[in-house]
Structure 1
Amino acid sequence: MSLDVVALRREFPSLRSGIAHFDGPGGTQTPEVVAAAVAAVLTGPLSNRGRVVASEVNADRAVAAFRQAYADLLGVPAGGIVHGRSATQLTYDFSRALAKDWRVGDEVVVSRLDHDANVRPWVQAATAKGAEVRWIDFDPATSELDLGSVEAVITPRTRLVAITAASNLIGTRPPVRAVADVAHAAGALVYVDGVHYAAHQAVDVPALGADLFVCSPYKFLGPHCGVLAADPGLLETLRPDKLVPSTDAVPERFELGTLPYEVMAGATAAVDFLAGLAPGAGGDRRSRLRAAMHAVDEHERRLLGMLEAGLAELGPAVVVHSRAAERTPTLLLTLPGRATWDAYEFLARRDVLAPAGSFYAYEPFRRLGLDDPHGLRLGLAPYTDDSDVARVLDGLAALLKTASA
């Protein structure tokens, strides 16, 4: 089943700007139905949650719908869905809750491939408890995770392994299940950053081997917020710091303060929008989501092939650092002899948005050892079309014809 990209693009008012967006890894554009869902809840009636007055019921329904939508998206029970302001905030919160039981001599394993949001919270929590931090490496030449380092650094003293399901910098999709199997054999928990992964693949949290999985709806057409998924039984064992009168029920014990009902409604609408991308698919919402994400994957893979072929034609003037066999449609480029920041500005003047930076991927960017302090990142999204790819390739070709700095 193929993706109807022409029809899809009509649902995004922002695309009428004429900008070709390659900034999806930093946050996607928003379909009109998502914005409408936010507005509908805000204009209510709306109040704090309850079961009597209509405004209370509306708030309660927004929360319940959000939990079920993300249960369907991620493959966990609704009682295991935690809302957060961002994936970073959720990871910090859970690092503090998990670290309460860590002791001197314990070990925490993080990855050189990860966004700093799945590195620094764990490093800081481990340091505060006197636990040792150990590192999983990757090979800059191939972009592949070093499986040998996985087995070397995980020991019976390991309490937690934090690993990305897909690098937001170079797109590498490491073998998360293989890492999780090693971690679980040692008795460790596995925390998976799925922020970049969930935007491109159908997610099955248990199949990945993740004990805790975090993602961000604004990376897949929703509003800005974060979602954590886990088995409710595991969440019952964690005791976060919270206010005395706030509920101790799971998952709400982790959601501090009054929830943003309108944001949750928008995030739910994003899931429903995704489920509708495969109109011929039958079954429940989870089945439709899996069919839709398969169609998205096929569409993005085709465009990625076009993009890579076009970049290859530009020759050695463009170096692609995304080389893993299994990866998302995200490419990191450098231009020998040219500053990628200049390339970003050149393309932006043509209304092609391809950001330059390190994108909070502090460890992998350092590990690549690039001469340029920035990399040019090209990320595809479901609404990217052939003309967008042609425009970015034409822009880069035009840049290369100009005198270098």
Structure 2
Amino acid sequence: MAVDVAALRDHFPSLTHGLAHFDGPGGTQTPRPVADAIVATLTGPLSNRGSSSVSELNAEKAVTDFRAAYADLLNVSASGIVYGRSATQLTYDFSRHLAKSWKVGDEIILSRLDHDSNVRPWIQAAQRGGVTVRWIEIDSETSELDLGSFERALTSRTRLVAVTAASNVLGTKPPIRRIADQAHSVGALVYVDGVHYTAHSLVDVPALGADLFTCSPYKFLGPHCGVLAGVPELLESLDPDKLLPSPDTVPERFEFGTLPYEIMAGATAAVDFLAGIDPGAGDSRRERLTHSLHFVHDHESVLRSRMEEGLRALGDAFTVHSKANDRTPTLLLTLDGRDAREAQLHLAARNVVAPAGSFYAYETFAALKLDDPALRVGLAPYNNADDVDRLLEGIATFL
């Protein structure tokens, strides 16, 4: 490997506690440069945005740097980057913005593969407007989306298709570009939940065909917040409810109240940290991100193979439901006749963090008739072979 993973781990103070973390899909550990950026911004000097003092300029820089960083990460225009408290909050906001133009008889399409944050806001908006909800189903044999059900659901009345780029429980990565092209052929918008996807893939929003795309920096080493990337022309066409004196420019018109400059600075530092993992010879941050995230993908793929081979060797006392050909290094397990929370506690006693639950994937668990809770194990860039071996040993002693 081009990167010294032990040296990479040294940047994460929390790893000195001896825990093997497999809870990355719910939120990763934080490297020191991210925390340092938060502290440096918060301790100032800092004021509201402006241009008449150093403290105002510091706030302005935090916002400008944030938009530039996420433009590079997602390969979009900085004017299309919207800050949010979370991806859930952003989706609720944009469900209301978009639903203003919906009318009775319109239709939207949702996916059974999605986290509820990309389901319930749209259902509730549709109910208020008399809009019909149709579904993309899951093939239970493959854990893939049933694209036939999508094609049957798509009509000239479809206004929106909301779909995940990667399942937060199964890891399944649907063919988003294919879905987007078909949706666009009938004039529908495509809203992509990229929260889990962005943690494990080099994102190219235009290549995916997404009109609106969300991610959450705390899933990839940053602080707790959300980001929406939108086509600037689309954002210009939307008319959100907002305070009269607040900015009407894009993307500011979608950001309500004073922004948390320190969190934005931390989120920017997370992008820079990712770009510096294995930057290669790239001159631009996007080039460095491309090189680094290819390393992360390769590193996580090696560990995923080690994990899957080890689980197969343990026999058939559990079922692995992550079966898609194209997926992230996240596995969902149910343990035959055993409560997954007992497994979580057993692992925790051995300093292995692997949570049990349904992880807000309400539709996925219902569609596949999965036991709730199930055990989810997910990898992050700081995981190593020792972590995987400790996980496997812990599961073996539980069975």
TM-score (norm 1): 0.98
Deviation track 1:115-162 (CA, whole Å, cap 9, x = no partner) reads 000000001001100000000011122101111111110111000000
Q: Which residue of 2 aligns with 1:32?
A: 32
Q: Which residue of 2 aligns with 1:189?
A: 189
Q: What secondary structure is seen at the aligned counterpart in 2 of 1:169? A: coil
Asked if 1:352 is matched to 2:355, the reply is no
Deviation track 1:80-116 (CA, whole Å, cap 9, x = no partner) reads 0000000000000000000000000000110000000
Instruction: Tell me if structure 2 keeps the 8 A contact 1:2–1:298.
Output: no
Q: Which residue of 1 aligns with 2:76?
A: 76
Q: Which residue of 1 aligns with 2:395?
A: 396
Counterparts of residues 44-83 of structure 1 (less than 5 Å): 44-83=44-83
Counterparts of residues 88-99 of structure 1 (less than 5 Å): 88-99=88-99
Equivalent position amino acid for 2:84 in 1: G
Whole-Å separation in 2 of the counterparts to 1:358 and 1:277: 32
Instruction: Tell me if structure 2 keeps the 8 A contact 1:3–1:296.
Output: no
Shift of 1:366: 1.1
Instruction: Tell me if structure 1 keeps the 8 A contact 2:67–2:81.
Output: yes
Deviation track 1:308-364 (CA, whole Å, cap 9, x = no partner) reads 000000111121000000000000001101111110010011110000000001000
Asked if 1:229 is matched to 2:229, the reply is yes
Asked if 1:316 is matched to 2:322, the reply is no
Equivalent position amino acid for 1:378 in 2: V
What CA RMSD, in Å, does the superposition of the two structures yield over aligned residues? 0.7
Q: What secondary structure is seen at the aligned counterpart in 2 of 1:108? A: strand
Q: Which residue of 1 aligns with 2:377?
A: 378
Q: What secondary structure is seen at the aligned counterpart in 1 of 2:333? A: strand
Instruction: Tell me if structure 1 keeps the 8 A contact 2:280–2:292.
Output: no
Counterparts of residues 140-155 of structure 1 (less than 5 Å): 140-155=140-155
Counterparts of residues 114-129 of structure 1 (less than 5 Å): 114-129=114-129
Q: Which residue of 2 aligns with 1:7?
A: 7
Counterparts of residues 262-281 of structure 1 (less than 5 Å): 262-281=262-281
Shift of 1:65: 0.1
Shift of 1:52: 1.1
Whole-Å separation in 2 of the counterparts to 1:4 and 1:135: 45
Shift of 1:280: 2.6
Q: What secondary structure is seen at the aligned counterpart in 1 of 2:243? A: coil
Instruction: Tell me if structure 1 keeps the 8 A contact 2:217–2:223.
Output: yes
The percentage of counterpart residues that share the same residue type is 67
Counterparts of residues 171-320 of structure 1 (less than 5 Å): 171-320=171-320
Which is further off, 1-10 or 84-93? Answer: 1-10
Equivalent position amino acid for 1:298 in 2: D
Equivalent position amino acid for 2:119 in 1: V
Extract structure 1 runs of 4+ deviating beyond 6 A. none
Whole-Å separation in 2 of the counterparts to 1:4 and 1:114: 35
Paired residue total: 399
Q: What secondary structure is seen at the aligned counterpart in 2 of 1:2? A: coil
Whole-Å separation in 1 of the counterparts to 2:348 and 2:217: 26
Shift of 1:230: 1.1
Whole-Å separation in 1 of the counterparts to 2:254 and 2:372: 38
Whole-Å separation in 1 of the counterparts to 2:264 and 2:281: 25
Q: What secondary structure is seen at the aligned counterpart in 2 of 1:196? A: helix
Equivalent position amino acid for 2:261 in 1: Y
Whole-Å separation in 2 of the counterparts to 1:69 and 1:279: 15
Whole-Å separation in 1 of the counterparts to 2:28 and 2:11: 13
Equivalent position amino acid for 2:379 in 1: L
Unaligned runs of 5+ in 1: 401-405
Q: Which residue of 1 aligns with 2:368?
A: 368
Equivalent position amino acid for 2:384 in 1: D
